[in-house]
Each structure stands twice: as structure tokens, then as C-alpha cells.
Amino acid sequence: MKTLRVNMDRLEAKWESVLPEYERLGGRALIAKILLTEVPPQCEPLGPNNKLIFAPGLLGGTSLSSSGRLSIGGKSPLTGGVKEANCGGNGSSDLARLGVKALVVEGQPADEKLYQLCISGTGVELLPADEWRGLGTYATAAKAQERWGADCTVISIGQAGEFLMSAAGVVCTGHGEQNSRVAARGGLGALMGSKGLKAVVLNSSGADALPLADPELFRVSARRFAKELVESPKTGRKGAMHTYGTSAIVAAVNEMGAFPTRNFSEGSFETAENLYGQRLREITLERGGKVGTTCMAGCVIACCNVFVDENGKPVVSTLQYETIGLLGSNLGIGTLDEIAHLNRLCNDFGLDSIEAGASLGVAAEAGLARFGDKDSFVSLLEEITEGSVLGRVLGQGAAVTGRVLGVSRVPVAKGQAMPAYDPRALKGNGVTYAASPMGADHTAGNAFGARREVNPLGTEGQRELSLKLQLGAAMLDSTGLCLFARPPVYGDSQLMVDLINGRFGWGWSVADLEEFKKTVLKMELGFNEKAGLTLADARMPEYMTREPLPPHDTVFDVPEAELDAVFSAL
């Protein structure tokens, strides 16, 4: 595999051999290493010295189920630190099969125009795309597929990215219809916008299968991996994930009192039942939508859905838990139809639904919208796509929105909005939000799954749990595995090692894998330290340490010394 470097100053693309120090890295790990090696940590995130990196995980492009998460990264304009966000879809598989270990976009076009990059088996083309300026991601994908072929994968930004908004994500077309996969967090859409890149188009048709160092070991391991997924009570055909998708957990989080409600002022939502996974499944099937679909080819979990309106017309795919929390209960909105509408707008404008939902919640608290009134939030989202001053404020995320509007109840860590678990009622997530190099991010180490082992309301054991989860997430994010595919490998590191050795023949041991996970976090923490982040950034918002969250009336009280010690065992 090669590194594909695209220089936006000179508008040229070139293939390079992979540097030896990048060779055994992929996805999130590779992004951290490239940032540490090539990007000045103190650079302005939207200036010419930052780089936008797309990297398949180590196992991307293989036939392994659920291994196609595409990592996108750079220095975050939202947190000021390292950022990797990943998404499903076929982008990772396409890139890997096209021989791209990392696509590194550098510089900025002098003409401030927009460009499209097409990578296919026949070559790389970097062409003007200024005629797509102002288009949402649905229209951009349609135009790109019209130009390059209906089977292409299109990775694009919407208006939010063009406006350099920190709530802008990068949106990737997925497997199946209407499928928007979003590498949402940290403002990577703004970074892509700052590079003048409207879309990356991938066409891997006709590409050869990737070579395997030990085909037999890989095939045996991959088969076992898939079998365990299928047989797991969580991820199997009868499991909640396949049956209800991520929305399966609405009920449990609401019952825990950690379901963000009306700008994180309460932890359970009076009409949450209407948002339960069961309800989502019911409505969808009644109306002729789909459940149990996949976001990427060959995934045996199939947790996705195509949410349709009353006439059976697709609204959004896939409607997910975090979005239901942030654009639903957090805004006091109690129907899936309303949430799906807001979600579609976010996907189209290229907005992280978490960050945007948090901005809207803060705006409602400031009186600019009304909790429970969807239309008032639609108006605010339209301000974002219009680029009005209010829209530009909201589009910068919850922290800027709170500061500008004079609101002190702002649910962020390291400047990034919290996902749909209030840390006062799920304290392990609070530790992850505070400590993770990524800022408030559930995918960095979500304690929800461990709620029966570690008391979510207690302070004991939270930092140890968070570190364990963060190490696990670092492994998944670097190999390209979906977080939901963790059951087979969390209990059996040897299987993970076998998959890697089967693919590459590196002769890794379990100890090597453990070291690898630690290295990922160390690289990220190292970048952040050089960028100027300190333990003072590893904190919850002050109000959460003071303002009790109903119904448990707990505050976030994990001692600061515990937050400071999260990585001491690394």
C-alpha cells in the first residue's frame, strides 16, 4: 500500500512509499503518528499547516466482518487537539483496495475554490468543484455519482464544512440507499472545507483483493470472528443491536437517569417511550422502511435502519441513539419523526448531530428556540446552512454558542459537546469525556456497557474502567473494527492478533497488541501536550460538579486527582 499525498497549494496528487514508521499503523493510530510527525502541534487548525488524513484501519479492505470503519483525522478546530473520527460505509474498504494506506491532504488552494478528488483504479484526478458550492451532502453525492458512476463512494462536506464550522462533519455515502455515514466529531468537515475539498470520490471496482500474509490463519480467524458475532446475544440475529439498532439503549439510559433532557438539565425524559428502539422498529416496519440493514458490505451485525415517513419515503438512514438523545430529548422533542427530520437536515448540511444538538439545546436555554418545538429548531438549523451570524455561532458548537449567548450550562469537555450520556449519572463516561485525548466522545470509551460491573453513580473504579475502555477503543479504531464488533476480541486478544498476523505476517504476540493500544493513546496525549492542552482541560464543566441532575440528584464528583491519574498506568 502507498501514501497518497494531495497538495492543495499546487493542486497535485502523488503516490509515495509508506514511511517505515507508518508501516505497522492504521486508522486512528496512523493518524496520530502522521500528526506527530508532520503537523506542527501548535498550528492553526484551519490554516495551511494542518493536514487532513483519511486512513483505513489495519484490517480495512479485507473480508472480515465489520472491519470497514474509515478513520478521518487532523488537528481539531473544535478541541485544538488530536482528532480521529470514524464512520461506516464502504470508504475504508474502497481506499484500502485502491492501495491507499493513507490519503493525506495538505496546504490550501490559493484561489479559495472548491475541488473534487477522484481516486479509482485508473488514476487520481483533482478537478474543480466550485459548481457544487452551497450544496448539501445528498445533492453533492448525487452530482458526484452522476459524474463518476453510481457505484462510487462519495465522501463530502455540506454547507457547514464550507463555512468552516467546528460542528461540521465529513459525510460518506454508505452501503444501501439514503445512507449517510458521518465522521462527525471535532470539526473535521471544517478542516476539509479549509482545504477547499468538497468531495472525495472512490471507485474501487475491479480492484484486486488485498494480499494476505497467511491466508489460512486469516480465513480461520475471520470465520471464527463472524461466527462469534452471529452467536453473541448482543450482536447476533436475535440480539438487540440487530433487532433495534443503537436505539435499543434509549430505555436503559433513560431509566438510569442519564438521558440528556432539555440541555442536560434532567436525566430522564417523560416521553422517552416514544423514542425506544421497539418503537423505532415498529414504525419503520409498519411504514415499509427497513431495519437490520448494514452500513458496509459484509457486516454480519446489520444494526442499521432506513427510517421512512408516513408515506414510506426514506427520511434518514440510519437513525441512531446519539442523535435521538441530542436532537430528541435534549431538545425536549418526543417523536421519532421530528427527530428524523432534524437528523436529515444535519446530515444534509454536513453537521455532527451531537454537536449541533448541543448547540441547539444551549440556544433554547438562551431563549432562541423552545424546547419541544421542532419548528423552532428547524429554523435554527436553517440559519446554519444560510451562514447567518446566528447560524455561524451555532455552527461553531455548544461552547462558542454558550459563550456568545451568555449561557453557563454548556455540556462540553475540551470544547466538544457531550454525547447522549449525562456524566452525572454515568460517571465512567464523565471520566472518558474529561480525560480522553478526543474530548467528550462516547466512542473513546463508553462505560454504559459496564454499568452492571461498575456502579454508574459511584466514583470508585471509574478511572480504571475508563482507561480499559479507552485502550479497547484505540485498538478497534486503529484496526477499522466497529465498536459493536468488540465481543469476539475483547475477551480474546489472541483472535485479534491472529487476524493481524494473518493479514500482515508480523508475528505479533498478545503483548505486542497491548503495547500497540498504549502507544496509540500515548501518541495522542503527546500531540495534545505539544498543542498546549493540559490536565486543566481534563475537566467536566463546572456546573456539573455543582448542579444536581434529576432524578438521582447527583453531581459529577469523581475527584480531580482521579481524572489526573487516568493515564498514569500507561
- Is 247:320 a contact under the CB 8 Å cutoff? yes
Determine if 42 is a binding residue for a copy of itself (CB under 8 A): yes
For a copy of itself, which is the closer residue by CB, 10 or 313? 10
How far apart are the C-alpha atoms of 55 and 527, rounded to whole Å?
A: 18
Determine if 404 is a binding residue for a copy of itself (CB under 8 A): yes
* C-alpha pair distances (Å), 329 with each of 164, 222, 268: 28, 39, 8
Cell of 421: 450520556
CB of 38 to a copy of itself, least distance (A): 16
| Stretch 433-472: interaction string toward a copy of itself, x if CB under 8 A | ----------------------------------------
Determine if 389 is a binding residue for a copy of itself (CB under 8 A): yes
Instruction: Return the residue of 543, 550, 564, 565 that touches a copy of itself, per CB under 8 A.
Output: 543
Say how many residues make up the chain. 570
For a copy of itself, which is the closer residue by CB, 500 or 563? 563
Determine if 215 is a binding residue for a copy of itself (CB under 8 A): no
Which stretch, 36-44, 51-59, 270-278, 353-361, contacts a copy of itself (CB under 8 A)? 36-44
CB of 164 to a copy of itself, least distance (A): 4
- Is 39:51 a contact under the CB 8 Å cutoff? yes
* C-alpha pair distances (Å), 522 with each of 39, 78, 102, 434, 515: 17, 21, 21, 16, 10
Instruction: Return the residue of 197, 308, 400, 418 that touches a copy of itself, per CB under 8 A.
Output: 400
CB of 248 to a copy of itself, least distance (A): 36
Instruction: Return the residue of 52, 200, 405, 444 that touches a copy of itself, per CB under 8 A.
Output: 405
Determine if 390 is a binding residue for a copy of itself (CB under 8 A): yes
Instruction: Return the residue of 6, 30, 32, 46 that touches a copy of itself, per CB under 8 A.
Output: 46
Instruction: Return the residue of 20, 206, 367, 406 that touches a copy of itself, per CB under 8 A.
Output: 406
Beta pairing, strands 115-120 & 197-203: parallel
DSSP string covering 274-303: GGSHHHHHHHHHHHT-EEEE-SSTT-SS--
Instruction: Return the residue of 17, 379, 408, 494 that touches a copy of itself, per CB under 8 A.
Output: 408
CA angle 385, 387, 388 (to 5 degrees): 120
* C-alpha pair distances (Å), 93 with each of 189, 203, 221, 305: 21, 10, 19, 21
Instruction: Return the residue of 4, 24, 39, 41 that touches a copy of itself, per CB under 8 A.
Output: 41
CB of 190 to a copy of itself, least distance (A): 9
CB of 166 to a copy of itself, least distance (A): 8
Binders of a copy of itself among residues 156 to 195 (CB under 8 A) are 163-164, 166
Cell of 206: 475491479
CB of 434 to a copy of itself, least distance (A): 12
- Is 277:248 a contact under the CB 8 Å cutoff? yes
Determine if 537 is a binding residue for a copy of itself (CB under 8 A): yes
CA angle 88, 76, 175 (to 5 degrees): 10
| CA 517 remoteness from chain centre | 19
Helix (H, G, I), strand (E, B) or coil at 521: helix
For 111, residues 6+ apart whose C-beta sits below 8 A from its C-beta are: none
Binders of a copy of itself among residues 243 to 302 (CB under 8 A) are none
- How many residues of this chain interact with a copy of itself, rule: CB under 8 A? 33
260 prior amide bond cis, ω within 30: no
Instruction: Return the residue of 47, 211, 312, 551 that touches a copy of itself, per CB under 8 A.
Output: 47
Residues in contact with a copy of itself by the rule CB under 8 A: 41-44, 46-47, 49, 163-164, 166, 389-390, 392-393, 396, 400, 403-406, 408, 530-537, 539, 541-543
